[in-house]
Amino acid sequence: MGKVTDLITKKLHDSLSPTYLEVIDESEGHRGHAGYRDGGESHFRVVIKSAAFTGQNRLARQRMVMKVLAEEMKAQIHALSIQAEESDN
């Protein structure tokens, strides 16, 4: 994992205490497109399950994730796809 991937993982763990978290760097699939940087770590997909999402609709869950990663979205993350679900537990 790279520096940005590690930072995303840490911030989401610390803020939302997920029961499941997967941070996928999809940057290579965007080579030649806007926002692509050599070395990747510009386009991400996050799959996260957390009790923090209980009772929240899809948009509210995505906003929670975006709020946690607001600083990274300003400079390091060009694109972020979010699949956020309530924990199974």
pTM for the whole structure: 0.85
pLDDT at 2 (0 to 100) = 83
Q: How many whole angstroms separate alpha carbon 50 and alpha carbon 29?
A: 28
> pLDDT 10s per residue in the chain (89 long)?
689 999 999 999 999 999 999 999 987 654 555 555 555 678 899 999 999 999 999 999 999 999 999 999 998 888 899 999 999 86
Residue-range domains of the chain with CATH: 3-86 (3.30.300.90)
pLDDT at 29 (0 to 100) = 55
Q: How many whole angstroms separate alpha carbon 85 and alpha carbon 3?
A: 25
